Amino acid sequence: MSKPALYMFAISHYCEKGRWTLDYTGIEHDIKYVAPGPHFRLVKKFKLPGSSVPYVVTDHEVVHGTGDIIDWADKHTSNGKTLTPAGEQGDQSREIEKRIDDVIGVHVRRAFYSEMLIEDPGRVKKMLTHNVSLAQKLIVNAIFPKLRKIMIKRMDIGSAQGLESIQILEKEIAWLDELLADGRPFLVGDTFSRADLSAAALLGRTIQPPQHPFYDHLYTPPKLKAVTSEWRSRPSLQWISKLYEQYR
């Protein structure tokens, strides 16, 4: 039986969530780096319901999306560690995870791209092709002007949208600060769960923790960096730094 393969964009914070899941549960895997555009042939090959990454491919199945990857990893853990608490706490952790995925993850991405895709598209192209094959790089180079327009449209990218995303993230950070205000070490229960991992992987991108697998290649554009530098002192961001230190 071959190792599961994790297909991912190197720089994606959602892919960091999927990769961290497999690492935390001790599941040996091969990483297959793909680039936007060329990855669509894999979407067709594996008959995926959507074009987003990450996805895990095994000899018997394809697992698409970070939530399903966590469910799958819980069942196939090789070190006994799981990420979903039992009973009501499991429901709570999923509920928090969904908000983090749907709000924090989306607006972290839009905040970054609203500055970088508009003002520094060359850097974006370089980041999107990190660790991919030469063939994929050549394809991205050829289609990037069109790809950039598609990304701007699909993610609703622009200066005003970037500011809106920052304001939304401010509210979400306040929400996390409030959840952690009683000094709890975890968002749900007394163990590290899918809620904690989601918060760390998706919001941690803003503070560039040194334990991140792509720490040397992470980049925050200057206007956004002025904002995220202030976020570092927030309780939830300090908590995320500790999660990276202890669990990543």
Exposed e or buried b per residue across 215-246, where buried means at least 16 C-beta atoms within 10 angstroms of its C-beta:
eeebebbeebeebbeebeebbbbebbbebbee
Beta strands in 38-176 (DSSP E): 55-57, 62-64
C-alpha 139: how far from its chain's center? 24
Domain with CATH 1.20.1050 in the chain: 87-247
CATH topology of domain 5-76: Glutaredoxin (3.40.30)
DSSP letters spanning 99-119: HIIIIIIHHHHHHHHHHHHHH
Domain with CATH 3.40.30.10 in the chain: 5-76
Q: What does each of the 248 residues of the chain score in pLDDT, given as a tens digit? A: 689 999 999 889 999 999 999 999 999 999 999 998 888 888 788 877 777 899 999 999 999 999 999 999 999 999 999 999 999 999 999 999 999 999 999 999 999 999 999 999 999 999 999 999 999 999 999 999 999 999 999 999 999 999 999 999 999 999 999 999 999 999 999 999 999 999 999 999 999 999 999 888 889 999 999 999 999 999 999 999 999 999 99
Q: At what angle do helices 87-99 and 194-203 cross, to 10 degrees?
A: 20
CATH topology of domain 87-247: Glutathione S-transferase Yfyf (Class Pi); Chain A, domain 2 (1.20.1050)
What is the pTM for the complete model shown? 0.94
Question: Which pLDDT score is estimated for 109?
Answer: 97
Question: Which pLDDT score is estimated for 46?
Answer: 80
Question: Which pLDDT score is estimated for 18?
Answer: 98
What is the rounded CA–CA span in Å between residue 159 and residue 110?
Answer: 10
Element at 121 (helix H, strand E): helix 121-128
Q: Angle at CA 202, nearest 5°, toward 196 and 205?
A: 120
Question: Which pLDDT score is estimated for 5?
Answer: 96
